[in-house]
Structure 1
Amino acid sequence: MVEPFPLIEISGTPHERGRQYGRKAADRIRKGTSHYFAQLKELSLDAKGVAELVRDYLPVIEAFEPTYIEEMRGIAEGADIPFEDVALLNARTEIIKLAKPEVRARLKTPDEPDGCTGIVALPKATASGRLIHAQNWDWKRECAETAVVLKVRRDDGPDLMTFTEAGALGRCGFNAVGIAITANYLQSDRDYRQVGVPLALIRRKVLEQEHVALAMRAVYCTKKSAANNMIVSHREGVAIDFECAPDETFQVHPQNGLLVHANHFVSPVALGKLKDTGVAETPDSLYRDIRVRDLVQPHIGAISFDTVKTALFDDFAYPWSVCRPPRRNLSNNLSATVAMILMEPASGLMEVAPLPAINREFTSYRLDVEPRRTA
């Protein structure tokens, strides 16, 4: 049996929330940091070197949202680990990639692509009349043992629930007013030329917003270090896919109430302006979105969680499939679909299955939602 992801509930000030988070998820946080530090050690970067890189990057995080520093310090206290370890969990790629040249020269192992397949079905396309937002998260097999579902009760904005690596502030999820986000790896020839905000923190910022306009602004306007794809939706029936280059954002819109995205740029405007350099690492992306769309389209008007699950379980071209079994990727690291996550923000429901290629048991998590606002 594959162990379900634990639910971690926190509340209070940012620092108090962090301490609760660190204490409740300590084992998974330590396991996650140990895994990443073992990899960095192989690349000749020790704890002292990481601490130096984190200190160089802190002003970027603090300028974006100082309370995130408070929350991360609380996590470190609660888990009894160095603050730098928590910061690295929340910004590992940016911190390492933007390191000093003499450090980068030692990092000869290429980045592992964080592959995903995301899907949104608008209310008009679903059987229940409620928006469905879902994804497969493809990443390191080990993260099935280090991820959590984090529920944050806030005094300074809407409550939120996010599926994320333990110790990180956010990944995918939704909030109590029905704003949801998923994210997919992208790579372009513009990446890592500038210092930008860590992607994990942009996603958390989205989930803190009361208005979908401000959530979309956080994705569209925040300067990034590297490309990423983020799908933002709202329970009332809006969804936009943002293909983000570090310095420019492109949009992809639903067709017939359905939006699907994998790990390559599809916006004609984007493809006319930049080079997609990620397909070399994720060639299966070229058909994963096609497979999911083709499996779901015949059910438009009657799409359900089961419809979406069937599509995301697709094993065409196994093991290079939509639902990825544990296998070695092109970087020779053990990769898998770590989790399948389905969300219905209007009802406050999230269902998650760990390692879905070998496990089809879902756990339900719920967030109390705020009533729809009327004029």
Structure 2
Amino acid sequence: MKLRTALSRETDAVARGRELGTAFAPQYAQTAALYLAHFAELGIGERDVRTIAERSRTALGAWAPDLAAESDAIADAAGIERWRLAAVGARTEILVAAPPRVGECSTAVHVGAGVAAESLQTWDWHDFLVPEALLVEFRATSGLDVKMFTEFGTPGKIGVNSAGVGLHFNILSHESDSAAGGVPVHAVARRVLDEARSVDDAHRIAASAAVSASTVLTVFDSNGSESRAMALELSPAGMGVVEPGSDGWLFHTNHFLDPKLSEGDTMSDETTVVRLAHLDGVRAELTGLDPTARALAVCGGQGAAAEICMTPDPTLPRLEQWTTLLTVAVDTERFALDVFPGRPDEAAAAGLARF
């Protein structure tokens, strides 16, 4: 995966959308085409894709008008039909129309009194869907500066803002999920980054979104003398909140941890439990490290064989091949992302780059 970078000082959503759509028109067009082909490969017809995308676009317009306007402006500038780009932004909502498959992504965050937040996440997905992705810095309408990693067409994913709020993103699956087309979960992540000045703000923003698909946003801050974190498990059935353990570590993979919501969990990926257990097993080795050392430690001495490192198996159908496309740490104190386009063991060997 090639990482593109962008800096925008446009605080107006439409102007920012035009700027990004003009600068990266080929990337937005390619990503939309790849996702539409992927949906078809999963058996989701174009009519259904368009219906869900347009419903999600309507829900987004009511909940976060600026984000809907930005998406439309990107599409217009890039020469893409608006619904096709909206389908990328609502990719999680559209994937609900296909049977649940394996999950992706493992997240670790450490917080506590007198310490800055420390984090690391693997972003695992299909490499054929994301030949290129975006690291972008911009000023939100709220006045906060934001740095985030995202796909071309999704409004947000993993990031940090200048108020010291960080966010990681993992997919979940619940029996209440439907193809109704609610507020895109990627837009919930983006609005948290745009507006939240604390984890309490993040909680309020996430709780206000009527979603049709499930996801967990692990949010954390470094405000004042104590860093805080919580995992916000979003689902159409409601939102669960998971707090860090007594040692300050909060881990999440791809199954619900909230006791009530876990009763309706439909994630078919058996590795999600194994990956969470792996993180739990290395917790004592992860604290007080720089991002590159943390990437090494999180492998637990297993290197590429660590449960959280995804390497595609070429003997499997491509829909069953998963790759760790990104290793990322969020620095809430210094307003930065440390990134490497690959597995943690590779990141440990090459070093993470600061953005």
Distance 1:331 1:143 in 2: 11
Distance 1:56 1:343 in 2: 33
How many angstroms does 1:14 deviate by?
0.5
Q: 1:145 to 1:362 in 2, by over 3 A?
A: farther
Letter in 2 for 1:340: T
The 5-angstrom pairing of residues 256-271 of structure 1 reads: 256-271=247-262
The 5-angstrom pairing of residues 331-350 of structure 1 reads: 332-350=319-337
How many angstroms does 1:50 deviate by?
4.2
How many angstroms does 1:219 deviate by?
1.9
Q: 1:195 to 1:28 in 2, by over 3 A?
A: closer
RMSD: 2.7
Q: 1:311 to 1:80 in 2, by over 3 A?
A: farther
The 5-angstrom pairing of residues 75-154 of structure 1 reads: 75-95=74-94, 97=96, 110-122=99-111, 124=113, 129-154=115-140
Which segment drifts farther, 151-160 or 109-118?
109-118
Does the aligned pair in 1 maintain the 2:35–2:129 contact within 8 Å? no
Distance 1:34 1:315 in 2: 40
Distance 1:80 1:243 in 2: 35
1:45 aligned to 2:45? yes
Q: 1:293 to 1:200 in 2, by over 3 A?
A: same
Distance 2:208 2:243 in 1: 18
How many angstroms does 1:96 deviate by?
6.1
1:226 aligned to 2:213? yes
Q: Secondary structure at the match of 2:256?
A: coil
Q: 1:297 to 1:18 in 2, by over 3 A?
A: same
Aligned partner (choices 209, 214, 233) of residue 243 of structure 1: 233
Aligned partner (choices 202, 207, 219) of residue 215 of structure 1: 202
Q: Secondary structure at the match of 2:322?
A: strand
Does the aligned pair in 2 maintain the 1:224–1:247 contact within 8 Å? no
Q: 1:297 to 1:31 in 2, by over 3 A?
A: same
Aligned position for 1:364:
353
Which segment drifts farther, 214-223 or 175-184?
214-223
1:9 aligned to 2:14? no
**How many pairs were matched up?**
345
Distance 2:104 2:276 in 1: 12
1:32 aligned to 2:31? yes
How many angstroms does 1:49 deviate by?
6.1
Q: 1:196 to 1:44 in 2, by over 3 A?
A: closer
Aligned partner (choices 264, 278, 283) of residue 296 of structure 1: 283
Deviations 1:190-234 (A, max 9, x none): 221755311001001100114322221122342211222111111
Deviations 1:62-94 (A, max 9, x none): 111111121012111232222112111111232
Does the aligned pair in 1 maintain the 2:285–2:297 contact within 8 Å? no
Deviations 1:253-273 (A, max 9, x none): 1121111111112233433xx
Distance 2:332 2:242 in 1: 21
Distance 2:252 2:150 in 1: 20
Does the aligned pair in 2 maintain the 1:26–1:79 contact within 8 Å? yes
Distance 2:106 2:56 in 1: 30
How many angstroms does 1:20 deviate by?
1.3
Does the aligned pair in 1 maintain the 2:182–2:211 contact within 8 Å? yes
Distance 1:311 1:358 in 2: 9
Q: Gaps (5+ residues) in structure 1?
A: 98-103, 367-375
How many angstroms does 1:136 deviate by?
0.5
What is the TM-score of this pair, normalised by structure 1? 0.82
Aligned position for 1:171:
157
Letter in 2 for 1:156: S
Q: Secondary structure at the match of 1:327?
A: coil
Q: 1:313 to 1:74 in 2, by over 3 A?
A: farther
Deviations 1:98-153 (A, max 9, x none): xxxxxx6xxxx53544411111111558xxx4212221111111244221112122
